[in-house]
Amino acid sequence: MDVSWIPGDSDLLVTVVAGLVVLGGAGAALLGRTRKAPPREAPPREDDAAVAPAAAPAEAPVATEPESAVETPEAVDHRFGRLRGRVGAGLGQSLLAIFRRGSLSQDDWDELEETLLLADVGAAATDELMADLKARLRADPQADPRALLRAALLDVVDPGLDRSLRLGAAGDGALHSAIVVGVNGVGKTTTVGKLARVLVAEDRTVVLGAADTFRAAAADQLETWGTRVGVPVVRSHVDGADPASVAFEAADRARAEQAEVLLVDTAGRLQNKQGLMDELGKIVRVVSKVSPPSEVLLVLDATTGQNGLTQARVFGQVAPLTGIVLTKLDGTAKGGIVLAVQRELGVPVKFVGLGEGADDLAPFDPAGFVDSLLGE
Amino acid sequence: MFANLSDRLTETFRNLRGKGRLTEADIDGTIREIRRALLDADVAVPVVRTFTANIRERALGAEVSGALNPGQQVVKIVNEELIAILGGETRALRFAKHGPTVIMLAGLQGAGKTTLAGKLAHHLKGQGHTPLLVAADLQRPNAVTQLKVVGERAGVPVFAPEAGVTREDERPRGNPVKVAKKGLKEAEQRQHSVVIVDTAGRLGIDQELMRQASDIRKAVEPDEVLFVIDAMIGQDAVATATAFQEGVDFTGVVLTKLDGDARGGAALSVAEVTGRPIMFASTGEKLDDFEVFHPDRMASRILDMGDILTLIEQAERTFDQAEAERMAQKVTQGEDFTLADFLSQMQQLKNMGSMKKMLTMLPGMGQIRDQIENFDERELVRTEAIIQSMTPAERDNPKILNGSRRSRIAAGSGMQVSDVNSLVKRFEQAQQMMRAMSRGGGMPGMPGMPGAGGAPGAFGGLPGGKKSKGKQAPQRKVKGKSGNPAKRAQQEADARAGRPAQAPSQGSAFGLGQQAPQDVDRDALSADLSKYLGR
């Protein structure tokens, strides 16, 4: 039961594998002498599906339809302003307090570092920021440390990145698809719903695909979002449907109806579940058959700690991420993890979720974000 | 990618080996590494501060032991402290003396309350209780529907007099406090022994919702209020936990999404800041992915010391038990191990997911991290292809593989004849080894075997500790492909022997402190292995 002869230079690897096998087989033997091994658990298929009923109402591009049940959402401009004071009240105030003291002592540096750490910026990114700030201060000892930190933070956030949704221009006739991914409980379905509203507000015709066939009532939830702005929602007819097939149906329908944007909601999955990540890969592949996804948005919860980086990395391997939606920023969490993500992977935040209201999804504004970090 | 704490400590102590005592300067370096490890694991900054201060105090002077090297000693201290905080007062659920036991769930949005409600109900039902789920989350769209579905799966009745919000634009109707009260009355009438109240998720700063939660708490006077928190949460854990402690004064904590790869420092933060015990861990999406919290596993997870138990559990889930038993029998009866057996073993390994992931879970893999990074996962696929290109007869008896068969196999699998040759050669070596082992009566891979020089060190669980060096070194050579087959076989035997020995040590996280490292106890071992083998 040894596996240590796999060819190639995998020897080390193989010894490890061998260890595992021995652990499995020989261990059983050892035990088998004293007692029977218990029956084996069914292999976990984490995503047996749950809810899966039928497709949605007819397409109804909304802005033009003054029907009472269907509403026109608020335009997205200036939503970001709501964020400023809130985040500023946290990190910004303490930074202000530090900088008011004039020259920085070691304690101040420590405090500064701690403040960044408390915002979930992460140890590595914090170290880099601190080093950056120190270098800037050395180069220009007279400068206002606050302005320097702003510049340093802004460098990390990089306002130059394109943060608009790459879904083509309105009315260009082509179908653009976007897939929303993320771990469980970060607010993917809500984000899809809110994004649909944003797009409808921009006069785009949208089709939603409820490829979350696992979580109980997820498709219902998406459907309520869709119905509200008059966007068709494609969902499965049977329990436990293959999410990829739902995604394909949605894409197919979007094409048939000549919709401009297809938004696919996926089930939450932890990035270390290989089977589920494979399933996601399949969703991306089948959607690509109709229209290669021009946006793959990772939804990150602002409370997420350093695991957010792993999430971005692993999801990125399966479905190349084009942007991040940072949700639940209206709580006490600062969402500093996005700095680490962008620094490491170059994936920009495109939208932020600022509350439970239907229009509480705002485009991310780097300068505004940094300013609010600094309490301006 | 990221070196884990044990690797970094090893680095810190490289020049210290042989030193018997820890000086203040040594400890400073160590503390920095520990601090970093804790921060990377999302332990809250204030908690890190007090924690490292404690470590410094304990590590200095007093507890210098002859048996451990400085690195092992510090890790032992850190581990003990972690377990002390995490497992300070683990306890079971408190049940009411008479009338139904009321359990209330509270937590942030998306922490997994509703799912957990179902799991808890399932768990209690398994213990002979008759739980009733009460849908008091009237806030989140379709939360009531979700609870109904979950209840149905668990086979537990759900009390849901209000439909809650079923559309995004609906204003929440109905009074959750009343629902909770009615639920309690219903349970009394129908003689349910446990009532589980699912409440709406809320942000810590949402005064209104927090008041509602505390009203529910007052109305139903729960025996347990469980605070449900996501293992992925970052620095916000402290603020959230404090807010909930003030709001609903929870009596216990449930950690969810522990099946992810977040290191879960939040567990430490919450336990330390609130002093409330962590009672359960939720580890998957299925109803029975629910377990009592293990402080020792959590400690090594936070320190990123490798998580053998997780690995073992994963193996347990994916390995075909019947197949494992068949293999075991083969080995004990001294039958030959064939390529067909090899293939089936390898396929099971593939089921376990990414090989790299698994490897990085093993403690002590830090030193060969680069090699792991460079490993081509498709190596397995190629090997599989070669074996699958053989006829059953060839798989059972590779001796019949002559030149023409080999070239057919190479063509069939898209490989070179040399690849086939090398596979066959190595297989034969291994086969011989297996024969020797089954003849010798020793279980392959069991510690205590002669030649398992690395086993005691592996027991320590601290790579880079003096002992484990013995194990690491040959492994590295294995990688370097020793040209000498005999030496190679020996190395492989070493590596194999070393590996299972690590399993028991992880049960107690680092082993060393708790067990005399040289003393490999068979009973203890089989007890630990039994965890792997399915209890």
Chain A residue with Cα closest to B473? A12
Q: Which residues are paired to B264 by β-bridges?
A: none
Nearest to B239 among A8, A332, A358 (CB): A332
Task: Please choose, from the candidates B201, B200, B207, the residue with its C-alpha nearest in 3D space to the C-alpha of residue B173.
Answer: B200
Cα four-point dihedral sign A268, A274, A278, A279: negative
Nearest to A1 among B327, B415, B423 (CB): B327
Are the Cβ atoms of A271 and B260 closer than 8 angstroms?
Answer: yes
For A308-340, the pLDDT digits (tens) are 999 999 999 999 999 999 998 877 777 888 888
Confirm or reject contact between B471 and chain A (CB < 8 A). no
Please report the pLDDT score of residue B535 as a whole number.
33
Are the Cβ atoms of B286 and A44 closer than 8 angstroms?
Answer: yes
Please report the pLDDT score of residue A373 as a whole number.
63
pLDDT mean over A36-43: 38
Distance from CA of A18 to the nearest CA of B (A): 6
3-state secondary structure B93-161: CCCCCCCCEEEEEEECCCCCHHHHHHHHHHHHHHCCCCEEEEEECCCCCCHHHHHHHHHHHHCCCEECC
Distance from CA of A276 to the nearest CA of B (A): 11
pLDDT mean over B333-352: 77
For B7-35, the pLDDT digits (tens) are 666 566 555 555 556 677 777 777 887 88
Q: Which residue in B285, B395, B476 has the most chain A C-beta atoms within 10 A of its own C-beta, making it the best mutation to test that interface?
A: B285
Distance from CA of B102 to the nearest CA of A (A): 25
Nearest to A228 among B168, B355, B425 (CB): B168
Please report the pLDDT score of residue B116 as a whole number.
93
Nearest to A3 among B243, B346, B444 (CB): B346
Judge whether B437 and B458 are in contact, CB under 8 Å: no
**B:59-88 residues touching chain A, CB 8 A cutoff:** none
Are the Cβ atoms of B328 and A120 closer than 8 angstroms?
Answer: no
Q: Is the pLDDT of residue A134 over 70?
A: yes
Give the helix ranges, DSSP H, for chain A: 11-34, 81-87, 93-99, 106-118, 123-139, 145-157, 188-201, 218-229, 243-256, 274-290, 307-318, 337-345, 366-373
Instruction: Tell me the range of A86-100, A344-358, B239-253 where mean pLDDT is highest.
Output: B239-253
Please report the pLDDT score of residue B506 as a whole number.
34
Nearest to A304 among B233, B365, B496 (CB): B233
d(CA A112, CA A302): 21
Q: Which chain A positions have a beta carbon within 8 Å of B330's beta carbon?
A: 1
Q: Which residue in B36, B236, B365 has the most chain A C-beta atoms within 10 A of its own C-beta, making it the best mutation to test that interface?
A: B236
Q: Which of A182-196, B144-158, B459-473 has the lowest mean pLDDT?
A: B459-473
pLDDT mean over B184-213: 86
Please report the pLDDT score of residue B476 as a whole number.
36
For B423-433, the pLDDT digits (tens) are 888 888 877 77
Q: Which chain B positions have a beta carbon within 8 Å of A119's beta carbon?
A: 235
Are the Cβ atoms of A310 and B351 closer than 8 angstroms?
Answer: no
Residue with tokens 């009321």: B102
Q: Which amino acid is at A17?
A: V
pTM: 0.68
**Size (chain A), residues:** 376
Please report the pLDDT score of residue A122 as a whole number.
87
**B:408-447 residues touching chain A, CB 8 A cutoff:** 415, 419, 422-423, 425-427, 429-430, 433-434, 443-446
Please report the pLDDT score of residue B169 as a whole number.
57
Distance from CA of B37 to the nearest CA of A (A): 9
For B87-144, the pLDDT digits (tens) are 776 678 889 888 899 999 999 888 889 999 999 999 999 889 999 999 998 887 778 8
Judge whether B305 and B512 are in contact, CB under 8 Å: no
Chain A residue with Cα closest to B472? A12
Q: Which chain B positions have a beta carbon within 8 Å of A4's beta carbon?
A: 426, 430, 492, 495-496
Please report the pLDDT score of residue B61 as a whole number.
63
Q: In the predicted model, what is the mean pLDDT of chain B?
A: 73
Residue with tokens 């048939």: A256
Please report the pLDDT score of residue A238 as a whole number.
74
**B:176-215 residues touching chain A, CB 8 A cutoff:** 203-205
Please report the pLDDT score of residue A88 as a whole number.
43
What is the distance between the terminal CA atoms of chain A, rounded to a whole angstrom? 65
CB atoms within 10 A of CB B420: 25
Distance from CA of A142 to the nearest CA of B (A): 31
Nearest to B532 among A27, A187, A333 (CB): A27
For A258-296, the pLDDT digits (tens) are 999 999 999 999 988 888 999 999 999 999 999 899 999
pLDDT mean over A142-165: 82
Please report the pLDDT score of residue A172 as a whole number.
75
Question: In 3-state terms, what secondary structure has residue B454?
Answer: coil
**Banded model confidence at residue B315, pLDDT cuts 50, 70, 90:** low
Are the Cβ atoms of B496 and A11 closer than 8 angstroms?
Answer: no
Q: Which of A66-70, B248-252, B302-306 has the lowest mean pLDDT?
A: A66-70
Q: Is the pLDDT of residue B446 over 50?
A: no
Are the Cβ atoms of B445 and A22 closer than 8 angstroms?
Answer: yes
ipTM: 0.72
Q: Which chain B positions have a beta carbon within 8 Å of A332's beta carbon?
A: 203-205, 236, 239-240, 243
Are the Cβ atoms of B534 and A26 closer than 8 angstroms?
Answer: no
Cα four-point dihedral sign B132, B133, B138, B144: negative
Please report the pLDDT score of residue B335 as a whole number.
72
Q: B513 versus B414: which is more confidently predicted?
A: B414
Q: Is the pLDDT of residue A62 over 50?
A: no
Q: Which chain B positions have a beta carbon within 8 Å of A46's beta carbon?
A: 284-286
Are the Cβ atoms of B112 and A184 closer than 8 angstroms?
Answer: yes
Chain B residue with Cα closest to A186? B110
Task: Please choose, from the candidates B235, B302, B303, the residue with its C-alpha nearest in 3D space to the C-alpha of residue B273.
Answer: B235
Q: Which of A60-74, A147-161, B10-24, B250-264 has the lowest mean pLDDT?
A: A60-74
d(CA A190, CA B358): 34
Q: Which chain B positions have a beta carbon within 8 Å of A37's beta carbon?
A: 321, 324-325, 533-534
**B:104-143 residues touching chain A, CB 8 A cutoff:** 108-112, 141-143
Q: Which of A28-37, A121-130, B356-365 has the lowest mean pLDDT?
A: A28-37
Are the Cβ atoms of B324 and A22 closer than 8 angstroms?
Answer: no
pLDDT mean over B27-53: 86
Please report the pLDDT score of residue B452 as a whole number.
30
d(CA B256, CA B461): 27
**Banded model confidence at residue B197, pLDDT cuts 50, 70, 90:** very high
Please report the pLDDT score of residue B411 as a whole number.
93
Please report the pLDDT score of residue B225 as a whole number.
94
% of chain A at pLDDT higher than 70: 70
Q: Which residue in B317, B373, B533 has the most chain A C-beta atoms within 10 A of its own C-beta, making it the best mutation to test that interface?
A: B533
What's the token pair of residue B107? 């937590």
Are the Cβ atoms of A30 and B430 closer than 8 angstroms?
Answer: no
Q: Is the pLDDT of residue B408 over 50?
A: yes
Nearest to A332 among B148, B204, B443 (CB): B204
Q: Which chain A positions have a beta carbon within 8 Å of B234's beta carbon?
A: 120, 303-306, 308, 333, 337
The C-alpha angle with vertex A55 and arms to A54 and A56, in degrees rounded to 5, equals 130
Cβ within 8 Å of residue A356, ≥6 positions away: A330
Q: Which residues are paired to B291 by β-bridges?
A: B281
Q: In the predicted model, what is the mean pLDDT of chain A?
A: 75
Q: B434 versus A151: which is more confidently predicted?
A: A151
Q: B239 versus B445: which is more confidently predicted?
A: B239
Nearest to A185 among B110, B365, B532 (CB): B110
> In whole angstroms, how far apart are CA B30 and each of A270, B5, B179?
33, 10, 54
d(CA A37, CA A45): 22
Instruction: Tell me the range of B203-217, B326-340, B411-425 where mean pLDDT is highest.
Output: B411-425
Q: Which chain A positions have a beta carbon within 8 Å of B325's beta carbon?
A: 28, 32, 37
pLDDT mean over A78-96: 53
Task: Please choose, from the candidates B413, B320, B318, B327, the residue with its C-alpha nearest in 3D space to the C-alpha of residue B357.
Answer: B318
Give backbone dihedrals phi and psi of A179, rounded to 5 degrees, phi first. -120, 135
Nearest to A274 among B353, B478, B499 (CB): B353
Are the Cβ atoms of A13 and B150 closer than 8 angstroms?
Answer: no
Q: Which residues are paired to B311 by β-bridges?
A: none
Please report the pLDDT score of residue A97 as a whole number.
66
For B269-292, the pLDDT digits (tens) are 998 899 899 999 988 888 888 888
Please report the pLDDT score of residue B313 as a whole number.
61
Distance from CA of A218 to the nearest CA of B (A): 8
d(CA B119, CA B285): 9
Distance from CA of A223 to the nearest CA of B (A): 9
Chain A residue with Cα closest to B109? A185
% of chain B at pLDDT higher than 70: 64
Are the Cβ atoms of A118 and B45 closer than 8 angstroms?
Answer: yes
Are the Cβ atoms of A224 and B39 closer than 8 angstroms?
Answer: no
Please report the pLDDT score of residue A72 as a whole number.
61
Please report the pLDDT score of residue B389 as a whole number.
92
Q: Is the pLDDT of residue B222 over 90?
A: yes
Distance from CA of A47 to the nearest CA of B (A): 8
Task: Please choose, from the candidates B471, B287, B466, B262, the residue with its C-alpha nearest in 3D space to the C-alpha of residue B365.
Answer: B471
For B147-188, the pLDDT digits (tens) are 998 899 999 999 988 877 665 556 667 888 999 999 999 999
> In whole angstroms, how far apart are CA B294 and each of B229, B410, B515?
16, 49, 19
Q: Which residue in A9, A30, A300, A309 has the most chain B C-beta atoms within 10 A of its own C-beta, making it the best mutation to test that interface?
A: A30
